[in-house]
Amino acid sequence: MHLNDAGRMVHTKIANTPNYYLDVCTDIFIVMPDHVHAVIVLDGQGRTRRSAPTGIGIPNLIKNIKTYTTRRYIQGVRNNHWKPFLKRLWQRGYYEHIIRNTNDLNRVREYIINNPTTYHLDKKSE
């Protein structure tokens, strides 16, 4: 996948997520033209580096990523002529799956790695 400026901005935010949250890391991820796939590992409560140990959790982590990237995208529309979006930049929800073993992790990693090669097939079926 060849990312444009907006895609690189999203990629950077996800790649840097472990710099902002304790006990959170990204195992593997890919930014696609209209969605993202990621394996996010929580090795504890996932609290921010500057917060009390209240825990971030996946819902708030995803919300924070979507909020940050939406704000940055709006700046890109205003300042860099990025394509405007209608209503929302991100879809409302997200798909969450708890990976419970190595086989499942390997299957998900393979899916993420292969997603760019099958993306055009998904778009044809819409």
Q: Which two tokens stand for residue 53?
A: 């140990």
- For residue 58, give Cα distances in angstroms to 61, 86, 107: 5, 26, 21
Kindly report which listed range (2-16, 18-32, 40-54) carries the lowest average pLDDT score: 40-54
- What is the total count of domains within the chain? 1
Q: Output the average pLDDT for the chain.
A: 87
**Residue 33 reports pLDDT greater than 90:** no
> Residue 63: which CATH number?
3.30.70
* φ/ψ (deg, to 5) at 27: -70, -50
**Residue 1 reports pLDDT greater than 80:** no
Quick one: pLDDT band at residue 42, thresholds 50, 70, 90? Answer: confident
Cα–Cα distance measured from residue 98 to residue 50, given in angstroms and rounded to the nearest whole number:
27
Residue 30: the pLDDT is 96
Quick one: pLDDT band at residue 120, thresholds 50, 70, 90? Answer: confident
Q: Which two tokens stand for residue 99?
A: 């990976």
pLDDT, tens digit (0-9, with 9 covering 90-100), for 63-119: 999 999 999 999 999 999 999 999 999 988 899 999 999 999 999 999 999 999 988
- For residue 99, give Cα distances in angstroms to 38, 53, 106: 12, 24, 10
Q: Note the pTM of the prediction, 2 decimals.
A: 0.82
**Residue 123 reports pLDDT greater than 60:** no
Helices (H), 21-97: 57-80
Phi-psi region at 71: left, alpha or beta (left = phi > 0; alpha = psi -120 to 50): alpha
Quote the domain boundaries for residue 100: 5-124
Residue 46: the pLDDT is 46
Sign of CA dihedral 13, 18, 21, 25: positive
Minimal CA–CA distance to 71: which of 15, 5, 117, 9? 9
